[in-house]
Structure 1
Amino acid sequence: MTHIDLLINALTTLLVTIDPPGLAPIFLSLTVGMNRQERFLVARRGTLIAFFILSAFALFGNGILSLLGISLGAFRIAGGMLLFWIAFEMIFEKRNERKEKTGEIAITQDQIHNIAVFPLALPLIAGPGAISATVLLSGPFSATIDRVQLILVIAFSLAILFSFLVIAERVDRFLGVTGRAILTRLLGVILAALAVQFVVDGVKSVWA
Structure 2
Amino acid sequence: MIKRTLYFGNPAYLSTENRQLLIRLPDKCGSGNAVTKSIPIEDIGVVVLDNRQITITQAALESLSENASAVIVCDSTHHPVSLQLPLDGNTLQSERFAAQIKASLPLKKQLWQQTIQCKIRNQAMVLSSIRNCETGNMIAWSSQVKSGDSDNLEARAAAYYWRNMFPSVPDFTRDRYGCSPNNLLNYGYAILRAVVARALVVNGLLPTLGIHHHNRYNAY
TM-score by length of 2: 0.23
Larger helix percent: 1
Larger strand percent: 2
TM-score by length of 1: 0.24
**Higher Cα Rg, which structure:** 2
